[in-house]
Amino acid sequence: MLLRISGAFFIAAAAALCGFLKADQLRRNESVCRYLWELLMKSGYLIRYRSLTVYELCTGLKECSFSDELTFISSLPEEHIPGKDFSGLWLEALDTQKGIPPEERELLLRFGTQLGSSDSEGQAEMINALSEETSVLLVRRKEEYQKYGSLWRNVSILAGLMLFVLII
């Protein structure tokens, strides 16, 4: 009987844990999107008002608080490497970070490939367009977390309790 109760308890705990992990994944997606928005805002400021080159921009971004979460920023070069294209270096650095949702990864790829390809006005316009897309995506991520995060947590606890009762 004790074995049956302990087994039921562990199955109930595993079901609850699955829901909490899924809710945590939604929270992480929302935070990655928020960090992406901060990256775009900081980049826009550095390019528009300080007229930094892409390599100076990389140095400036490494000093920001979101660089702890967007770890690929630390892999970006701080000076020109002969024979290497900045877009390729951005792609290599972005590939080092896992856990970025596909929509955010696509926005980061577009940002990195267009960065340094035009004058500062063109880059500022590109950053404005990307930040608008990111703002819409951030609102969607927040809504998903608020709506589905609590749903996953509640359903998983109820499923765990149901399994506990069924096994006993």
pLDDT digit string, tens, across residues 38-54: 999 999 898 888 878 88
Question: Domain boundaries in the chain?
Answer: 16-167
**Residue 34, pLDDT above cutoff 90:** yes
Share of the chain above pLDDT 90, in %: 45
Torsion, Cα of 131, 132, 138, 139 (10° steps): 160
* Beta strand ranges found along the chain (DSSP E): none
Let me know: does 61 contact 42? Beta carbons within 8 Å. Answer: yes
pLDDT digit string, tens, across residues 149-165: 999 999 999 998 898 88
Confidence (pTM) = 0.85
Give the ranges where the chain is alpha helix by DSSP (H). Answer: 2-50, 54-62, 86-95, 102-114, 120-144, 150-167
Helix and strand numbers (H, E) in the chain are 6, 0
**pLDDT bracket for residue 29 (50, 70, 90):** very high
